[in-house]
Amino acid sequence: MPKVRAGGYDFFYQRMGQGESTVVFIHGLVMDNLSSWWYTVANQMAKHADVICYDLRGHGLSDRPESGYQISDAVEDLKNILAALDLRRPVHIVGNSYGGVVGLATASTYRDLVESLVLIEAHAAVDEHSERKRNQLVHGLDLAGLLLTSDELARWLEDAAGRKMNRMARSARTLIYDTTMVDDLRDSRPFTPTELKAIDCPTLLIYGENSDIADRGELLVNTLPRARLCVIPGVDHSVLMEATRSVRDLITGWILNGGPASTNGGPGVNTAGVQSGSGG
Amino acid sequence: MNDIHTTASDPPTAGVSTLDVLAAVLVEVVGDDLLVDTEITLDTSFNDDLELESIEFVALSEKLQVHFGDRVDFVSWIGDMELEEIIGLKVGQLVSYIDECTR
């Protein structure tokens, strides 16, 4: 199985297809791994582009070190993985949930690595009132809450029975209790408005109409200089699983049909059943 | 693999040998415990019967891709399916696809 050695750890990854664009898919926390992208969008995208999916540190088939789970660690991991794979051009980053946060943080830290961003239900915490300590806490609890109480997690556990459930639950437990992940996320620094305003790559934001974090989409579209927000009706945080076709169409259109260019003032994304608006 | 029996009357591309390969790769990916309780036949479902984790199915596909080389193209095959179809896949569908490509 292909693993890439980056920063001293082995990361499981899949690289498929070829094309002028490179698209890197990043998954969410704990119960997630690269398969959620592989099952939904990555293989389709690989018919037109160079596609990379990888398991985040501690997830899927990647190494699970005891520590190093701050958002900034995930950014370094991604930078190291891209270097190890000899990527010499900026990539489109497509992140789901926490993967979106990693994408945003990567664009903020290493702007030159990023061609465009697609953020799906990203839990971006913003230090709006300079009350850093309080917001750090909110940020951390938010992410911890995501992994401990979300409907998505409950549904996974409900659907998974027997062998699969045992393995997944065991894996989730060891990640939560045997690593510093929760504490690291709690300690991760929120974005400042200044940092967000400096992320000038084209960004597509996709949120569920009924998502409990839909306000993050509003906040980001109003803060990022070149962002467009698409709200998918009738779905919650599990947009990728519940509205897979809409999400796939949006991502494909964005990357293959010049979506990023249209954030310079072009028309809104025109997808049936999807409300859209542009900010910036 | 006690459950696989070949006879002289089997056509050479009846899927038996591909099933053998697939079963061997499954054990590589998942471990021996899989075969203790579960008989693998063409009608076995990856999700419901084998309870394969989705990341294990990714690993399985990749190992099969390496084994069969350019003759199979799992990216296109999976790329043409919707989520529910992938989740509902049976061993026989994968064997048939491989056999069509390698015939």
Highest mean pLDDT among A128-142, A146-160, A251-265, B59-73: B59-73
Pick A159 or B20 by higher pLDDT: B20
Enter the tokens of residue A50.
């160079």
Query: Residue A168: which of B53, B74, B86 has the nearest Cβ?
Result: B53
Q: Which helix (H) or strand (E) holds A85?
A: none
In sequence order, the 6+-apart residues with CB closer than 8 A to the CB of A238 are A151, A152, A155, A208
Q: What is the pLDDT of residue B1?
A: 40
On the question of pLDDT at A156 being above 80, the answer is: no
**pLDDT band, residue A154 (cuts 50/70/90):** low
Q: How long a stretch of residues is chain B?
A: 103
Q: What is the mean pLDDT of residues A135-161?
A: 52
Interface predicted TM-score (ipTM) of this complex, two decimals:
0.82
For the cut 50, the answer to whether the pLDDT of residue B87 exceeds it is yes
Q: How far is B39 from chain A (nearest CA, A)?
A: 15
Amino acid in the structure at residue A229: L
In chain B, positions 18-37, which contact chain A (CB-CB < 8 Å)?
none
Contact across the interface for B79 and A43, Cβ inside 8 Å:
yes
pLDDT of residue B5: 41
Residues in A whose CB is inside 8 Å of some CB of B read 1-2, 12, 14, 16-17, 33-36, 38-40, 43-44, 46-47, 55, 60-61, 160-164, 167-168, 241, 244-245
Q: Which is more confident, A276 or A80?
A: A80
Instruction: Note the pLDDT of residue B16.
Output: 53
Instruction: Tell me the CA distances in angstroms from B18 to A15, A71, B97, one per residue in order.
Output: 25, 44, 10
Q: Which long-range contacts link A258-266 to residues 24+ away (Cβ below 8 Å)? A: A259/A116, A259/A202, A259/A204, A260/A92, A260/A115, A260/A116, A260/A201, A260/A202, A260/A204, A261/A202, A262/A228, A263/A202, A263/A203, A263/A226, A263/A227, A263/A228, A264/A226
Which of A12, A35, A47 has its CB closest to that of B54? A35
Q: Is the minimum CB–CB distance between B75 and chain A shorter than 8 Å? A: yes
The domains located in chain B, with CATH, are 16-102 (1.10.1200.10)
Strand order in the sheet with A203-208: A3-6, A9-16, A50-54, A22-26, A91-96, A114-120, A203-208, A227-232, A275-278
Question: Which residue among B59, B75, B83 places its CB closest to the CB of A16?
Answer: B75
Which chain A residues are closer than 8 Å to B74 by Cβ?
Answer: 43
Whole-number pLDDT of residue A274: 47
Query: CA A173 → CA A107, A182, A230, distances in Å?
Result: 31, 12, 34
A3 bridge partner residues: A12
**Probe site for chain A from B46, B47, B54 (most A CB atoms < 10 A):** B54
Position B3 scores a pLDDT of 42
Put simply, the answer to whether B58 touches A168 (Cβ < 8 Å) is no
In this prediction, residue A125 carries a pLDDT of: 78
A88-92, A127-131, B28-32: which is most confident: A88-92
Residue A48 predicted with pLDDT over 90: yes
Q: Give me the half-sphere count of Cα atoms (radius 13 Å) on the Cβ side of residue A98.
A: 31
Angle between helices A98-109 and A71-84 (to 10 degrees): 70
Report pLDDT digits (tens) over A214-245.
889 999 999 999 999 999 999 998 999 999 99
- Residue-level pLDDT at A10: 98
Closest residue on chain A to B33 (Cα)? A163
Nearest to A226 by CA among A275, A273, A260, A187: A260
Give percent of chain A with pLDDT exceeding 70: 79
Domain that residue A229 falls in: 3-278
Q: What is the pLDDT of residue A140?
A: 47
Which of B53, B89, B97 to substitute to test the interface with A, most A CBs within 10 Å? B53
Q: How many structural domains does chain A have?
A: 1
Residue with the bigger pLDDT between B4 and A125: it is A125
Of A76 and A139, the structure prediction assigns the larger pLDDT to A76
Mean pLDDT, range B65-87, rounded to an integer:
91
What pLDDT, on the 0 to 100 scale, is given for residue A128? 59
For range A15-32, the mean pLDDT = 93
What confidence score (pLDDT) does residue A161 get?
Answer: 56
Burial level of B57, CB count in 10 A (0-12/13-18/19+)? buried
Quote the pLDDT of residue A141.
45
Q: What is the pLDDT of residues B39-60, one digit of tens each?
A: 889 999 998 888 898 999 999 9
Query: Which residues lie below 8 Å from residue A50, measured CB to CB, with a gap of 6+?
Result: A15, A17, A18, A19, A21, A22, A23
Phi/psi for A231 (5° steps) reads: -110, 125
Residue A151 neighbours by CB under 8 Å, 6+ apart = A236, A237, A238
pLDDT at position A74 over 80: yes
What's the CATH number where A135 sits? 3.40.50.1820
Structure confidence at residue A67 as a pLDDT band (50, 70, 90): very high
Chain A residues within an 8 Å CB radius of B82: 244-245
User: A273 pLDDT band (50/70/90 cuts)?
Assistant: very low
Do B88 and B44 meet the contact criterion of CB atoms below 8 Å apart?
A: no
Q: State mean pLDDT over A184-203.
A: 90
